[in-house]
A and B are shown apart, each in its own frame.
Chain A
């Protein structure tokens, strides 16, 4: 997938654990883990909005486009 999820990088910058983010965003740990590991197929705007609000960042800080090397 050429879309990279940099949630772990942003969490490290804000010194926030997965448990804390899960509580503040209102997502289950398993769903947040799916998102963090890049297994997710899509992300809802409402989820993105909540994550950006909690981590005080922009969507571009979490999502990145990287061209696939074939």
Chain B
């Protein structure tokens, strides 16, 4: 018996995956923010909260730098969650019409993805630079991998690729509308 996988089924699987990733990213972003709040309220608890992102050494060194790093990490985490929220939203709205894929809504969606990806890339890149600078100052810092700031170049590359795809989509929409008005 042959099993045919339709695009609708693929999209449903992607929707489930997107939900799982979105939930994970929301927990991650919440964890970073909770860590920062506990650092102010009860610094002793921070070491027991999230072992991998223990920034207690940085907090002891300078509160300002601690909040700057936390802010960058939080922005990156929130933007990643926002990225998947956009994906979930378009899949739920059923805007991905496979019979007419080149529509304005999809173009705006890819355009938003490219911008969010660019912001993630820029903040990640700056965060890595900032963390390295802090290490040079003699502060014990966790690895950028644990701070979820790695792969800035990949995010920037992805933003450029998405932006190119948007331009191709723009032309695709024009061609599709012309085709619709060809009698």
Contact = CB atoms under 8 A, between A and B. Distances in A.
Interface residues of A, number: 12
Contacts of B178: 41-42
Interface stretch (A9-17, A31-39, A53-61): A31-39
A6 B82 CA distance: 53
Nearest to A32: B183
Secondary structure type dominating chain B contacts: mixed
Contacts, number: 23
A39 B182 contact: no
A19 interface: no
Contacts of B183: 27, 31-32, 34-35, 40, 42-44, 47
Interface string B140-183: 00000000000000000000000000000000000001100111
Contacts of A35: 183
Contacts of B177: 41
B64 to A, nearest CB: 60
A25 to B, nearest CB: 10
Most buried by A among B177, B181, B182, B183: B183
Contacts of A41: 177-178, 181-182
Contacts of B182: 40-44
Interface string A15-31: 00000000000010001
Interface of A: 27, 31-32, 34-35, 39-44, 47
Given A41-B178, A41-B182, 8 more contacts: A31-B183, A32-B183, A34-B181, A40-B181, A40-B182, A42-B178, A42-B182, A44-B182
16 contacts: A27-B183, A31-B183, A34-B183, A39-B181, A40-B181, A40-B182, A41-B177, A41-B178, A41-B182, A42-B178, A42-B181, A42-B183, A43-B182, A43-B183, A44-B182, A44-B183
